Amino acid sequence: MMIFSRRILGLALGITLTSAAFAGTWPYTAKPGVQEFTGQLIVRPIQVDTMLSKNWTLDKIRGLQSRVAPRFAKNLVRYYSQTDEYVVKVPAGKTDNSYAKELIDTGDFQYVCPNWRLYPTRNPNDPQYPQQWHHPKIKSNLAWNLWTGSSQQYISFVDTGVTKNHEDLHDLLVPGYNSVDRKTEAEGGDINDINGHGTHVAGCGAAHGNNGIGVSGVGWNFKIRFVRTSNSPSGGASLDDILAGARWAVDNGSRTISASYSGVDNDPVGTTGTYVKSKGGLFFYAAGNDNRDLNMFSYADTIVCGASDENDGKAGFSAYGKGVALFSPGTNILSSTIDGGYGYASGTSMATPITNGAMALIWSANPSLTPDEAQQILYLSCDAIGSSNVFGHGRTNVYKGVQMAMATLAKDTTITSVGVQTGDYTAGNLGSVQDSDLNNAYVLNTVNAGASGTIGAATMTCSLPTDQGTITSFGLSTTFRVSGGRPSSVFAYLLNRNTNKYDLITTKGALPDTNTILSFKLGADATNYVFGDGSVRILVRSVVPQRFGPASGTLSIGYAKGRYSTRPSF
């Protein structure tokens, strides 16, 4: 049996962050074997929504957009349109820190982050156990009585490669990708394991179960689309290559993707999580093995995983706190090894793929769940094992998660009424808000509201059944377009049944004559907006501010659809 023994610590503590535009601690500090400078930075310009929220004029917005790309004409490594991020070389005579500060001082960037060379996260082993203790702890065995997984569920691990002929993995692997060389296997990309970390990670989440040999992953039948993100025997990988691998995985059909590396507290990790979610997936990242309190950030879309022990305590090495979403078992985890056998290892590197596998099992029980809904079920199904200031939502319980996913099957809702709140109705009807073609949308002329600018608003109602359990979430997605040649903001409000007043839920900035998606999702607060008859009453309001001068136009609303979920009793 192979036993992992190499010790790679988590990130250095560093100095307190002094500017929101710097990703991580400032000044940036390298630590050999944990995070090392590469002479490259990852930079992201200020986004249009942020510029509109700061009342920037259209000329100022376009001015920034015209400056960014030419600035990197001589030192651009690559550009990612998916996340609007530039990877750039540090010019000669400058350091990673000095060039980062120079870019931040322009005021043009949301963040600047070193393209760190990062390393897999793992710790020395504790005493071995003769079985996979973590399955009973997260109740995998009970979940398998309800659901064992689906071969239609694609799961990815971004790591050091995989032993392709391993008896517990080989029949589950589909063609993968080498994110260092930017090559698929068909193009000659090598995904064979060069370190051992990746094979163990893959087995934690998705080893073939119920096949009479070896060990079992959290789900039995997933297809594994592996991404090798390192060509170094040490397993070291650049932040750029790790995140590019995650984006490739979701772009090629994987719904759950995990990376068991250091570097969690860098803003691009959150940006890639948001991209993965926008493409229909969820991204998991290891909290790290440095016992840090990650209280300096909290990602909405990247799920950061801590490690718990056999007694449902925090593993001594595991990072914790505000930035950690949940915990999963991460000590003495028995899984597949690079030599074709099995061995124990500990770390948030193990907890992260176990969480990935749990989410894949839950999601495959109801593939129609949105990423937001799947994420919420994962959180709601966790068992509380201590303070949320340490453990976040708690420790994964895959049995509860599968139950909740099955209880939410086929729970969509459509708009049942639509009307004018502000403006003059010109075209469309109730059916129009279900039509993805905005040429046939529900259309309002805007009206002048003095100092506020021009406004158009429409009311919509969804009806939810009242006999299928407690509503735990409600969301709406609608496509809109505002004409008139001016930047605009569109606001979504819900009528609060307790106050009988509309509450602002979300806002979205948009450039003129551009199809834009407005969406929101409510969790714990959803019940405040569901009336006794099951109705949810929505107000969508467009505003073209007076600061852009006299303006008139239309608000077009189309393809509006709600989704809701319920929580069963346990």
CA dist 103 and 96 (Å) reads: 11
Using DSSP, state whether 467 is helix, strand or coil. coil
CA-based nearest residue to 142, from 312, 337, 419, 361:
361
Question: Hey, which residues does 117 pair with through a beta bridge?
Answer: 36, 238
Q: Which pair of tokens denotes residue 487? A: 């930047």
CA dist 570 and 357 (Å) reads: 22
Q: Report which residue type is found at 503.
A: D
By annotation, the residues acting in catalysis are 159, 197, 349
CA-based nearest residue to 406, from 91, 206, 146:
146
Q: For residue 27, say if its preceding peptide bond is cis, omega within 30 degrees of 0.
A: yes
Using DSSP, state whether 483 is helix, strand or coil. coil
Match 């190499």 to its residue by tokens.
Answer: 6
CA dist 451 and 231 (Å) reads: 60
Using DSSP, state whether 135 is helix, strand or coil. helix
Question: Hey, which residues does 544 pair with through a beta bridge?
Answer: 454
DSSP element (H, E) containing 52:
helix 48-53
DSSP assignment letter at 222: P
Strands (E), 374-511: 412-422, 424-427, 442-445, 447-448, 454-463, 470-482, 488-495, 502-510
Answer yes or no: are the C-beta atoms of 348 and 316 closer than 8 Å.
Answer: no
Answer yes or no: are the C-beta atoms of 340 and 163 closer than 8 Å.
Answer: yes
Give the β-pairing of 85-89 and 154-159.
unpaired
